[in-house]
Structure formats: structure tokens, C-alpha cells
Amino acid sequence: MSPFDPGAIASLQTHHCFGGTVGFYEHDSRVCGCPMRFSLYAPPQMQQGPRPVLYFLSGLTCTEENFMVKAGAQRFAAELGLCLVVPDTSPRHTGIPDEDTDWVYGSGAGFYLNATQDPWKRHYQMYSYVVEELPILLAQAFAVDLDRQGIMGHSMGGHGALVIGLRNGDRYRSISALAPICHPIASDWTRPAFERYLGDTVAAWKDYDATELLKRYVDPRPLLVDQGLSDPFLQDLMPQSLAQACAETGRSLTLRQHPDYDHSYYFIASLIEDHLRHHAQFLCPGSLDSP
Ligand SMILES: N[C@@H](CCC(=O)N[C@@H](CS)C(=O)NCC(=O)O)C(=O)O
């Protein structure tokens, strides 16, 4: 049996939506050593055969539900034939002391990395969960085409999408982010989580920092990033660090900065269509031909 064999999944609820289905699921994760939840939008085209998968990684405090309820992405996923998958943002109910006490680490704050430090390392393995275990699970249960995967995310999830996408050029054809945490090891807001999960070795932190990773991974996939200029977290998100790293390494980056938009799902809902169309260019080019 594969170490990433996800076992059986339980369907918690399903809802018909734009001709397809929004579903919420739970399974016993071997990688995280606890039950994990995710949501999935199956577009109507999935009834005819495998469709590309576009992951959305959510931000701090979110579950697998926020994006499905608030972003309004299903309308465009149904048009483009994209399967949307939204994992939870961390393991939960693991029994780790203080797991629920602070919103920037522990529950809802897995930072999409593999913790190496006690007490987190036994469960907080979100990087391997998203990259390895979840796709295998999906392929067992749904008509998904794992040769066509894209990844996007918001805030902490934007950080996750950039890091996971950059480090896995062979797995993800397309990457985008909304208000991503671009340089987490340089911010007093996010560095404490890295210290807890990864210890005090800066080299280990750099494996999960998009600005640092851009210097390591050179490939032609362009990045799309949107950022609101009335975002209260702007100072800690550091899009300028990402832009500078892209400029220095020749990476194609479309960084769109929007006056008046904040950090909320109102911002995400306003721009999500552009992100799905960005990914569709690479995941299902034919879908953009129709008017
Ligand atoms: N700490 C604040 C802010 C948390 C926050 O803004 N989280 C963002 C991601 S960084 C989010 O998407 N929240 C969920 C939502 O708006 O539905 C809170 O708990 O309300």
C-alpha cells in the first residue's frame, strides 16, 4: 500500500450548483494522522469524463467551506469545465496543547508546510497532504485528470499556492494568488509560525518562502497575483518582494494592484473569474474559444 493511500472518503453533504455539484468530504489522512476535510466542485462536464483540477488554498482561520460559500467561483468553473478542490487549512482536534489559542499558528494556520518540530510534526504535514495525498485520493474517487492541475490561493493560501506551485513544476501547470503572503520569513506577523513548525534554522524556512524560492526555481510558468491596496495586512504580505524577485530572475509576473479593495472575500469574489480564466488557458485551452 502506498504511504499516501488515503483510504475511504465520507461524503458529508452535497449541493447541486450551476449544473454540477458542490460536495464536502472527510477522510482519514495518513499523512496528517487525523481526519481531514475538503470541498470539491464537480462541474457538469465531469459526468462525461476526467476534468482538470484547480486547487484553492484558503487563508488563516478558514476551513474548506469559506471559498465555496463566498467566492462565487462555481459559475466560472462550470463554464470552463474545471474541478475546484479546497482543502482545510490545517489538521484539527489533534490534542496538541495550544492548538486553538492563536489564529496565526495551529488550527486554521497550517501554512502548507511539513512541520519538523514537536509537538507539531506528527500532524502538521500540509505540504505533503496537498501535494501527495490529496491528489491520489481525488483520483480514486472522482473523474479528475491529474496531468492537468493548477493551484491558487488567498493570503496564507496564496503563500501555499506560490510555494507548492514553484516547488513542483512537474505537477502544476498554472499558479496564481490573491493577496498572498509573499515573504513570510521577513514578517514579524508570520515568522513565529515558521519558528514553531520548523525550528530556528533559517535555511529550513526558506524552503517555504516564495520570494526565496523564486531564486531557486526557474521555469516559464507565468504568475498572476492580485492585491488590494486597502488591505490591512498589506505591509506584511510584501508583494513588492515577490515583484523584485521576479524581476531579478526573469519570471513573468502579472501583479495587479487594486485601489480600495481590502483582504476579504468581497475582493476575492471580484477577481476570481480572472483567476479561473488564467488557469483555464493552461489547463483546458479549448474552453476559452467559445464566446
Ligand atoms: N483574525 C481575523 C482576520 C482573519 C482573516 O481575515 N482571515 C482571512 C484569511 S487571512 C479570511 O479569509 N477569513 C475568512 C473569511 O473572510 O471568510 C479574524 O479572525 O476575523
**What residue has cell string 477522510?**
27
Q: What is the mean pLDDT of the chain?
A: 95
CA of 156, closest atom in ligand 1: 10
How much of the chain exceeds pLDDT 70, in percent? 96
Output the 3-class SS for 109-162: ECCCCECCCCCCCCCCEHHHHHHHHHHHHHHHHCCEEEEEEEEEEECHHHHHHH
CA of 59, closest atom in ligand 1: 9
User: For residue 93, how many C-alpha atoms fall within 13 Å in the half-sphere facing its CB?
Assistant: 6
At 285 the pLDDT is: 82
Span 227-244, mean pLDDT?
Answer: 98
Bond from prior residue into 119 cis (ω within 30 degrees of 0): yes
- 3-state SS, residue 93: coil
CB of 66 shorter than 6 A to ligand 1: yes
**What residue has cell string 489559542?**
101
Which residue is catalytic, options 155, 174, 241, 287? Answer: 155
- What is the whole-number distance in angstroms between the Cα of residue 201 and the centre of ligand 1? 29
Which ipTM value was assigned to this complex? 0.91
Whole-angstrom Cα distance, residue 217 to residue 205? 16
Q: Is the pLDDT of residue 4 over 60?
A: no
The predicted model scores a pTM of: 0.96
> Which cell numbers in the block locate residue 219?
521555469
Taking CA 207 as the corner, what is the angle to CA 206 and CA 209, rounded to the nearest 5 degrees? 60
Query: pLDDT, tens digit, for every residue of 23-57?
Result: 999 999 999 999 999 999 999 999 999 999 999 99
